[in-house]
Amino acid sequence: MDRLRIAFLGLPLAALLLARDGHEIVLAGICRRGAPGTRRLRALIGDARVDSRPALGKAYLQRIRDARPDLLVSWFWTTKIPSELVALAPLGGFGVHPSLLPRWRGPDPYFWALDTGDAATGVTAHRLAAEYDTGSILATRVVAIEPGWNAWQLARALDRPSLALLRELTERLRRGERLAETSQDESLVTEAPAPGDELLEIDWHRPAERIARRVRAAAPYPGAWTFIGDAAVVVTRAEVVERPRGLEPGEGVVRDGRAVIAASVGGIALLEGRIVGDDDVERHADVSAFVALLSRAGPAGGLSE
């Protein structure tokens, strides 16, 4: 066929690229109000075809039925997609997940890939199933993880192969190809839930290398956090350094103009982050802000080497 009629759910960029490829976006559900590209998509396919954060209930099911799509495509849609909705498209539906499934199923694969120290990750195109990220695998792309990447940088690195894979498979379906499908090996599943506040609190009794990974994995948001004196701080950039002499894990020293905290093995220099105010508002902190805070804190603050 010349083009596919596509019902789309997710972020607008993917829908715009599919439209550029010549496909018709018959309906687009956008997962986040004000997402970049929404206005352009409305201008391209018309306001009536674009919905912001639609509930996928009976009313939307009827809208998709009336739109008569050939295919349903999901890219960063954040709620479950009912199987009844997918069944309305003769070619079914697929999405692209930012990990190598079945590793890191769930909403935050970036955090877990970095926190665990994976050398590589990637993206997986998979059929949409009743449960998140469980559908059969259509294709993958592997991406090496650079040592200094944080979660935002990893996410950006995966966007390009994710979109390329989505467009490639859509084009193959347009040409009438039958896509090979591989069931996920349940014995290899690892879960990637969103990290909670308790997990993100820095444990200074761990080695500095492990702490630095967690900082990168949580940066820039929500961020790994700790206390300096009575102040809660979020650390978004840090460097592994030599362990300060004579200090216990969690105690700090001002060394060479930087705030350095002792870990069980090695130390952590605080380079960038946010200080949480009494109003719970987080304000940007640089090296000098951390030094000032440490100098005012407890018996370990204000030391120098």
DSSP the chain: ----EEEEEE-HHHHHHHHHTT-EEEEEEESSTT-TTHHHHHHHH-GGGEEES---SHHHHHHHHHH--SEEEEES--SPPPHHHHTTSTT-EEEEESS-TTTTBSS-HHHHHHHHT-SEEEEEEEE--SSTT-SPEEEEEEEEPPTT--HHHHHHHHHHHHHHHHHHHHHHHHTTPPPP-B---GGG--B-PPP-HHHHB--TTS-HHHHHHHHHHHTTTT-EEEEETTEEEEEEEEEEEPPPTT--TT-EEEETTEEEEE-SSSEEEEEEEEEEPTTS-EEEE-HHHHHHHHHHSTTTTT-B-
Question: Region 98-103: what's the mean pLDDT?
Answer: 98
Q: In terms of pLDDT, which residue wins out, 230 or 92?
A: 92
Domain boundaries, the chain: 5-188, 197-296
Whether 304 shows a pLDDT value over 70: the answer reads no
Longest dimension (CA), the chain: 74
Chain-centre distance for alpha carbon 158:
10
Statement: residue 302 has pLDDT above 50 = no
Does the pLDDT of residue 300 top 70, yes or no? no
Paired residues of 235 in beta bridges: 224, 273
Distance CA 83, CA 240 (A): 48
Average pLDDT over residues 147-153: 97
For residue 153, pLDDT beyond 50: yes
Q: Is the pLDDT of residue 239 over 60?
A: yes
Band of residue 1 on the pLDDT scale cut at 50, 70, 90:
confident
What does CATH list as the number for 197-296? 3.10.25.10
- Please say if the pLDDT value at position 151 is more than 60: yes
Chain segment 177-199, per-residue pLDDT in tens: 999 999 999 999 999 999 999 99
Q: CA 218 to CA 151: how far, in whole Å?
A: 6
| Mean pLDDT value across the chain | 95
- 5-188: which CATH topology? Rossmann fold (3.40.50)
pTM given for the model: 0.94
Asked whether residue 305 carries a pLDDT value surpassing 60, the answer given is no
Average pLDDT over residues 146-169: 98
Q: How confident is the model at residue 298 (pLDDT cuts 50, 70, 90)?
A: low
* For residues 11-25, average pLDDT: 98
The pLDDT of residue 297 is 82
Percentage above 70 pLDDT, the chain: 97
